[in-house]
């Protein structure tokens, strides 16, 4: 089986938090954070799989601290687990006060991507095994099996939930 290191899947994006990105509290709008998060995580997914895929779920996002106007936000993403067609990507989101250089952990997240058939209909290729090297990578990757099991259980529970959601127009 092929293997790839977490480091080979790293993607890093840094953005200024501008007036067009903030909410009424003068902090980064959560929807903007999610947009940048999905963009960065998708790069880690593609670096790992080298195949087409889609975001299957944003499994968890933990907003730890607000990100103020005029600071920077930096997304660090990497693959932390993979199975036959699905790939887990972890993100840590750091904030930096650009005046002082002070940094803090603003958020963490896990997303799942799924490999899809190529445009020409070619089925997906087997995915590599992910190999953590640093202590942080080993710690995060060690929880992959448990997180995957929880996702699968939630997916089963959601099937029943989704079957009971009406498709009727609310105004008819």
User: Is residue 122 situated within a structural domain?
Assistant: yes
User: Is residue 103 situated within a structural domain?
Assistant: yes
- From 78, 97, 76, 72, select the one nearest 15 (Cα to Cα): 72
3-class secondary-structure state, position 148: helix
Q: Return the CATH number at 72.
A: 3.10.129.10
Residue 160: the pLDDT is 87
User: Is residue 70 situated within a structural domain?
Assistant: yes
Residue 171: the pLDDT is 86
Predicted TM-score (pTM) of the model is: 0.93
Host domain of residue 49:
3-163
pLDDT in tens, the chain (172 residues): 799 999 999 999 999 999 999 999 999 999 999 999 999 999 999 999 999 999 999 999 999 999 999 999 999 999 999 999 999 999 999 999 999 999 999 999 999 999 998 888 888 999 999 999 999 999 999 999 999 999 999 988 889 899 999 999 988 7
Q: What are phi and psi of 42, to 5 degrees?
A: -65, -30
Residue 45: the pLDDT is 98
Residue 9: the pLDDT is 98
The vertex-41 CA angle with 39 and 46, nearest 5°, equals: 95
- The count of domains in the chain is 1
User: Is residue 172 situated within a structural domain?
Assistant: no
User: Is residue 155 situated within a structural domain?
Assistant: yes
Q: What are phi and psi of 63, to 5 degrees?
A: -80, 110
How many residues make up the chain in this entry? 172
């Amino acid at each position: 089986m092929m293997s790839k290191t977490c480091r080979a899947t790293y993607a890093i994006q840094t953005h200024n938090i501008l007036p067009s990105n903030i909410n009424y509290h003068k902090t980064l709008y959560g929807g903007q954070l999610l947009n940048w998060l999905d963009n960065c995580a998708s790069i880690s997914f593609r670096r790992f799989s080298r195949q087409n895929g889609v975001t299957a779920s944003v499994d968890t996002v933990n907003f730890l601290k607000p990100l103020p106007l005029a600071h920077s936000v930096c997304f660090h993403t990497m693959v932390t687990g993979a199975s036959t067609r699905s790939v887990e990507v972890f993100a840590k989101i750091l904030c930096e006060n650009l005046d002082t250089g002070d940094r803090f952990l603003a958020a963490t997240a896990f997303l799942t991507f799924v490999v899809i058939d190529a445009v020409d209909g070619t089925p997906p290729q087997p995915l590599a095994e992910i190999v953590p090297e640093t202590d942080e990578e080993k710690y995060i990757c060690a929880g992959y099996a448990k997180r995957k099991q929880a996702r699968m259980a939630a997916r089963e529970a959601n099937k029943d939930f989704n079957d009971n959601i009406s498709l009727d127009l609310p105004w008819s």
